Amino acid sequence: MVIKPFYSMYQPNGYITIFLLLLCLLTIKSYGQSHKMISLESIQQRYIGKWPKTISYVKKVDTRQYGREDSSIQYHAYLYPGIARIDQGSLDEGRATIIHGEMSYWFKRFKHVSNGETVKYFTDYMLGDIYYDDLAGFKKVLAYSQVDSSLKGHGIWEGRPVIVIGATSLEDRYNAQVWYDTEGLYPVRFIEGRSGRVRDIQYQIKKYGSFWFPESAKEFVGKKQVGTVRYQNFSSDRKLTEEIFDLERFGSCHWAE
């Protein structure tokens, strides 16, 4: 009896078949290792030194929930590190928050009404402040947003490899978590469900040379879309003078005027 080599069963392409099988095994091994190598440090370090010193944009939010439709607008301006201004509604209302490092100052009708410690929530922090902070600060903001940075997972979502911070499985809908694109290391999804209502924000990212920023986002409660966010008039080149963020001169000028 003649015993034929294994590859002969796949003639006339036996060698090619074996090569492809080995290539698949190596790819799977490499895929698993690449996720193990991704850490909080690597996510943060990817854009440190590449993120612009200033950004400004208009954030428009449309919501449809409980039989009601609503729209809102915000004007965002950031002078890194640590200085920001967010105007709510029409600029004629004089309603805004100005942030100077660890302190935030609130204005209504162009008058300073109160101030307090700056609260950093991850969905805002991840859009720039993360790249001007240290690792301890990064972990602190994750913890404040109830994202357990010791929990990590990975998988495929919408055809792309993703890494999850805050959960070990893509099916987890209990733990607060942020999903990052494995290749670009930018956020594509934020989920939180401990309140009993799963809130799911999915981002559409646009690349600007060496950095990124979202063009829009969809918000779901459960599996029902309840909102759309659009980030418009984005710029990293717009001149943002110190007067815009000056507490004493609030109302004298605005970058969007």
Q: Residue 184 pLDDT more than 80?
A: yes
Q: What pTM was estimated for this model as a whole? A: 0.84
Measured CA distances, 16 to 3, 13, 26, 51 (Å): 20, 5, 15, 45
Query: Would you say the C-alpha torsion 151, 155, 156, 160 has a positive or negative sign?
Result: positive
pLDDT of residue 159: 95
Q: What is the pLDDT of residues 91-117, one digit of tens each?
A: 999 999 999 999 999 999 999 999 999
pLDDT of residue 37: 55
Average pLDDT for residues 187-197, to the nearest whole number?
88
What is the assigned CATH class of domain 38-245?
Answer: mainly beta
Which burial class, exposed, middle or buried, applies to 166 when counting CB atoms under 10 A from its CB (0-12, 13-18, 19+)? buried
Residues recorded for the chain: 257
Higher pLDDT, 181 or 18: 181
The closest of 103, 94, 102, 52 to 77, measured between CA atoms, is 52
Q: Where in the chain is the domain with CATH 2.50.20.10?
A: 38-245
pLDDT of residue 4: 47
pLDDT of residue 21: 37
pLDDT of residue 67: 84
Q: Are 236 and 55 in contact (CB under 8 A)?
A: yes
pLDDT band at 186 (very low <50, low <70, confident <90, very high): very high
Q: Residue 34 pLDDT more than 50?
A: no
Q: Residue 81 pLDDT more than 60?
A: yes
Share of the chain above pLDDT 70, in %: 85
Q: Which residues pair with 151 in a beta bridge?
A: none
- Beta carbons within 8 Å of 74's beta carbon, 6+ residues apart: 58, 59, 61, 86, 87, 88
For the chain, the average pLDDT equals 88
Q: What is the pLDDT of residues 35-80, one digit of tens each?
A: 555 899 999 999 999 999 999 999 999 999 888 999 999 999 999 9
Q: What is the pLDDT of residues 124-171, one digit of tens each?
A: 999 999 999 999 999 999 999 999 999 999 999 999 999 999 999 999
Average pLDDT for residues 25-40, to the nearest whole number?
52
The closest of 199, 218, 215, 196 to 207, measured between CA atoms, is 215
